[in-house]
Amino acid sequence: MRFAKISRETAETSIELSLDIDGIGDSTINTGVGFLDHMLTLFSRHGRFDIDLKCEGDTYVDDHHSVEDIGICLGKAFAQSLGEMRGINRYGHIILPMDESLVLCAVDISGRACLCFEAEFPSEKIGTFDSELVEEFFAAFVRSSGITLHIKKISGRNSHHIAEGIFKAFARAMKNACEIDAELGDEIPSTKGVL
């Protein structure tokens, strides 16, 4: 079973998170940031990852600390649950439409943290959520998971649709990358012998 449980306590946030990579897309998510709850629920469902997440953060300041620390915890959970990454596809990619928006997402579970994020939002806010925090979430995730992640907005006019397309695309690409390839058996998918 590829499962991880992460606890993180700082002066800014208190987070409890569990992740089952081989789930069915069930989630209980309460981050204190409504828009992020929506995005992570989509991520869980479309990636078929079971996620239980609770965050108490200093949202009276703004949502930044909660969003970043949740990205850190979710990235750590993926790294921990994948272990040595034996038998995984390693790569995943998709071009995903969400109404008028179109998003490309490509993942390499490489052990090397690299984020290439090319997605501008037409508005600074999505409801009360700062749209720039989408990139902050992925930067934190990438640093703590050690994956290479490319996200590119191909088109889109509605900030909510663009963000939703990004999280759905990320879910599908991660699902593909994390899946076990029966042909690989117990092999690590790298000529180096380690990821």
pLDDT score of 110:
94
Question: Which amino acid is residue 152, in one-letter code?
Answer: K
Residue 149 falls inside a structural domain:
yes
**Distance, CA of 81 to CA of 83 (rounded, Å):** 6
Q: Of 161, 151, 171, 177, whose CA–CA distance to 97 is shortest?
A: 161
CATH number, domain of 161, equals 3.30.230.40
Q: Quick one: how far is CA 99 from the chain centroid? A: 21
pLDDT score of 182:
85
pLDDT score of 73:
98
- Residues in the chain predicted with pLDDT less than 50, given as ranges, are none
Name the percent of the chain in helix, strand, coil, to the closest 5. 35, 30, 35
Residue 187 falls inside a structural domain:
no
Q: Of 151, 46, 35, whose CA–CA distance to 101 is shortest?
A: 151
* pLDDT tens readout for residues 167-191: 999 999 999 999 998 887 777 766 6
Residue 39 falls inside a structural domain:
yes
Residue 194 falls inside a structural domain:
no
Packed helices 34-47 and 159-178: angle between N→C axes, nearest 10 degrees: 40
Residue 121 falls inside a structural domain:
yes
Residue 158 falls inside a structural domain:
yes
Its pTM stands at 0.95
Residue 94 falls inside a structural domain:
yes
pLDDT score of 193:
65
Report how many domains make up the chain.
1
- Percentage of the chain beyond pLDDT 70 is 96
**Distance, CA of 147 to CA of 90 (rounded, Å):** 10
Residue 163 falls inside a structural domain:
yes
Q: Which domain holds residue 67?
A: 3-178
Question: Which amino acid is residue 136, in one-letter code?
Answer: E
